[in-house]
Structure 1
Amino acid sequence: YPASCWKWHYEHGLVIKAISEVGAASGENRFHGIDQEWIDHFVNEKGEICTYRVSEFNLDQVNPGKLLFPLYHRTGDGRYAAALKLLRSQLRDQPRTPSGGFWHKQIYPHQMWLDGLYMAGPFYAEFAVTFNEPAIFDDLIHQFMLIEQHARDPQTGLLYHAWDEARAQQWANPGTGCSPHFWGRAIGWYVMALVDVLDFLPSEQPHFAKLIDILNHLAHAMTRFQDPASGLWYQIVNFPNRPGNYRESSVSAMLAYGFAKAVRKGWLAPEYLSAAQRAYHGLLENMIRVDARGALTLEGTCSVAGLGGNPYRDGAYEYYIKEPVATNDFKGVGSFILAALEMDRALESNI
């Protein structure tokens, strides 16, 4: 992963955060400073972020900003504070749906995607604590409750990938505004967002318990669709036997991480640690390959999936299953590392 390949991009932010957490957990010098080296590649002396544009109003571009918080706390360097406040300014002006939900991007009007809760939510929560802006919490809780209210399917309890409040998109159900399918990784992003935001949300905050309830209901719904043979989840969660569907690595790693962390924090019952462990072992047995040099490869990650755009993505089943499947994709690798760290913590604490 040479510097020439670095990008201010959500999946790069995810994998660098995961590596830095390995360093914090292990104390190994080889991981020390990777977060600062990466951030300093982009952030100049004025706190400006190379390649980042507020005017794009792209929630994906907020996620790497989480790496700034530990650097600011360690060094007190004003340029890190300036960069954090620059990203905060995007969320202050982010276009919103009539109900107050963040548009996923400027180019996706009136649409909330589950992905966006992870891309902006944990950053937003940590900013509230770091810069003493508690009013953020009400807005942040509203984002989670709003998308859950509209994207949740009453029959399965699963969440659709996205919701178009304007009901203007070809992919949007004319009645509900929801996209057609339950995409595994979108739900994985949402679960990770919940458990990472809850780290910062004061327990006395109104609706704190509501987020715990949302997490529990979604965990219950997802475990019903966990593959009993492998412990993994499918690309389209509720159609395991439909032709073309496949067991997908990133959702399995994300849920392993989210469930295990939530059990450790007391937000989910201990039984969900078993679901997390089954998923993690399923990844080890089915998706990890070791080459002749001893290097690991993670297989089975959907490279990308979205809605709308040009060429237009209609959210049909055939669309999701035909997107390329990648090896060592950062969305899978970063989530897998975070899941592995939670597995270690579970062993250490004898949960």
Structure 2
Amino acid sequence: MIISQKINFYKNVIILLLLCSGKVIAQNIDQSQIVISDNLKWSERMALSIIKRHPEAWKIDNHEAPKWDYKIGMILTAYQKLYSNTNNAKYYDYVKEYADVFIDEIGGIKKFNPENHSLDNINAGKILFDLYYKTKEGKYLTALKTLRNNFDDYPRTPSGGFWHKKIYPNQMWLDGLYMAEPFYARYTAEFEKGEKLNDVAHQFELLHKHTFDEKTDLYFHAWDESKQMPWANKETGTAPHIWLRALGWYGMALVDALDYFPKDHPKRSELIGYLNELAIAVSKYQDKSGLWYQIPNLQKQKGNYLESSGSSMLVYALAKGVHKDYLPLKFEKIANKGFNGLIKNVIKVDKNGEVHITQVCGSAGLGGNPYRDGSFEYYMSERIVTDNSHGLGAFLLAAIELDK
């Protein structure tokens, strides 16, 4: 016992010295100290479960090395909301520790090459706004400016839409609206007097115009303005199918970007109109369970399944839309039905009280290598996983918004 006490004493002295020298920023959260009470709200139960499984946020999804990751960025925006609601420093520290893995002392972003041009690389930057405002550390502002400047020479389609990625020429995906537009809108609103809000709105306008499907009132996953991709419709350029999570990205992008459009901005009512169209349409496809199918308009086709990440995203978008007065109150009922469906059908609690989310589509896209053709069979072939970050982040946002 005495030897053990001495070891702990010297260990603590070493840690203190390292902290004072600036070599250590923060210690990993002690997993053994995390107790997940079933008296907590679902948002905190899930947030604490994630921390317990992954004391360092970059390890979510079992990454072997740190990655500036759009999915972890989504999760950590939820932790910032939780910190704002609870004032629990554990949530703030979890976000800051992730940021400080990547943002060096002069504001450089490790593993970020602006020349690679990918909208996915923008999303994690959303956590830097609140970190900058709270700490007043200039490195976060420098990193924010780096991400903002990426839009200045970002490749665009002939009609002015951001390519989803440099490796996907002339393609716009609904996913990309969430990755880029809330960040772009917040930056230009808070640092540029909103001078680029029309450009933000233009990205929504293009995808609204070109991916809308008159047969279902839903939106195809993507649009190739060049109409050259094998997956693209030769007349319209649209992807072959509607994908649930793409609808979720679209809905979340709308409600989050709208936060930064002043009430007198001429494009604000247009974006609210898009959100109402989406809300009306997806309500028609909600399953009796409260969830939505991976391909929402082909519910009875063999192999289709109720998917949890896209369902969580729609719950969040509908709930926030109501709370912000963008949507009529009736959509709160749809959101609550969806959330209750998540708890009943896909949320599992293990013997240690940890919360897990099942039935998450691991990943989906178009083109690339190996080639993804956007067929129904393709979307069904992607792995269905548990505790994937798409599902974790979307569920956290939905749970926080509904305050269950």
Which band: TM-score by shorter chain? Answer: over 0.9
Aligned to 1:315: 374
For the 8 Å contact 2:79–2:92, the answer to whether it is kept is: no
Aligned to 2:85: 25
Q: Which one-letter code corresponds to 1:279 in the other structure?
A: G
- Say whether 1:249 aligns with 2:308: yes
What is the CA–CA distance in structure 2 between the aligned matches of 1:267 and 1:237, rounded to whole Å? 24
Aligned to 2:230: 170
What is the CA–CA distance in structure 2 between the aligned matches of 1:72 and 1:101, rounded to whole Å? 29
Equivalent of 2:337 in 263, 278, 282: 278
Equivalent of 2:110 in 29, 35, 50: 50
Equivalent of 2:352 in 293, 298, 318: 293
Between 171-180 and 150-159, report the one with greater CA deviation. Answer: 150-159
Equivalent of 1:34 in 94, 97, 101: 94
Aligned to 2:7: none
Q: Which one-letter code corresponds to 1:128 in the other structure?
A: T
Aligned to 1:13: 73
Q: Secondary structure at the match of 2:208?
A: helix
| Deviation (angstroms), 1:133 | 4.3
What is the CA–CA distance in structure 2 between the aligned matches of 1:203 and 1:155, rounded to whole Å? 33
Equivalent of 1:193 in 240, 253, 256: 253
What is the CA–CA distance in structure 1 between the aligned matches of 2:80 and 2:93, rounded to whole Å? 8
Aligned to 1:128: 188
Give 1:331-342 correspondences, 5 Å limit: 331-342=390-401
- Say whether 1:266 aligns with 2:325: yes
For the 8 Å contact 2:162–2:172, the answer to whether it is kept is: yes
What is the CA–CA distance in structure 2 between the aligned matches of 1:237 and 1:293, rounded to whole Å? 34
| Deviation (angstroms), 1:27 | 2.2
Q: Secondary structure at the match of 2:335?
A: helix
Q: Which one-letter code corresponds to 1:73 in the other structure?
A: Y
For the 8 Å contact 1:20–1:34, the answer to whether it is kept is: no
For normalisation by structure 1, the TM-score amounts to 0.96
What is the CA–CA distance in structure 1 between the aligned matches of 2:318 and 2:101, rounded to whole Å? 34
What is the CA–CA distance in structure 1 between the aligned matches of 2:346 and 2:393, rounded to whole Å? 14
| Deviation (angstroms), 1:135 | 2.0
What is the CA–CA distance in structure 2 between the aligned matches of 1:288 and 1:300, rounded to whole Å? 9
Larger Rg: 2
What is the CA–CA distance in structure 2 between the aligned matches of 1:213 and 1:187, rounded to whole Å? 15
Structure 2: any 5+ residue segments left out of the alignment?
1-53, 60-65
| Deviation (angstroms), 1:186 | 0.5
| Deviation (angstroms), 1:46 | 1.6
Aligned to 1:219: 279
What is the CA–CA distance in structure 1 between the aligned matches of 2:102 and 2:232, rounded to whole Å? 37
Q: Secondary structure at the match of 1:163?
A: strand
What is the CA–CA distance in structure 1 between the aligned matches of 2:109 and 2:190, rounded to whole Å? 20
- Say whether 1:232 aligns with 2:297: no
Q: Secondary structure at the match of 1:92?
A: coil
Structure 1: any 5+ residue segments left out of the alignment?
none
For the 8 Å contact 2:217–2:281, the answer to whether it is kept is: yes
| Deviation (angstroms), 1:20 | 2.5
For the 8 Å contact 2:189–2:195, the answer to whether it is kept is: no
Between 69-78 and 114-123, report the one with greater CA deviation. Answer: 69-78
Residues 79-104 of structure 1: CA distance to partner in whole angstroms, max 9, x if unpaired? Answer: 11110111011111110000000000
| Deviation (angstroms), 1:207 | 1.9
| Deviation (angstroms), 1:241 | 0.6
- Supply the RMSD in Å over aligned alpha carbons: 1.1
Aligned to 1:76: 136
Residues 310-342 of structure 1: CA distance to partner in whole angstroms, max 9, x if unpaired? Answer: 111000000001100110111111110111111
For the 8 Å contact 1:250–1:302, the answer to whether it is kept is: yes
For the 8 Å contact 1:127–1:133, the answer to whether it is kept is: no
What is the CA–CA distance in structure 2 between the aligned matches of 1:336 and 1:201, rounded to whole Å? 26
Aligned to 2:8: none
| Deviation (angstroms), 1:292 | 1.3
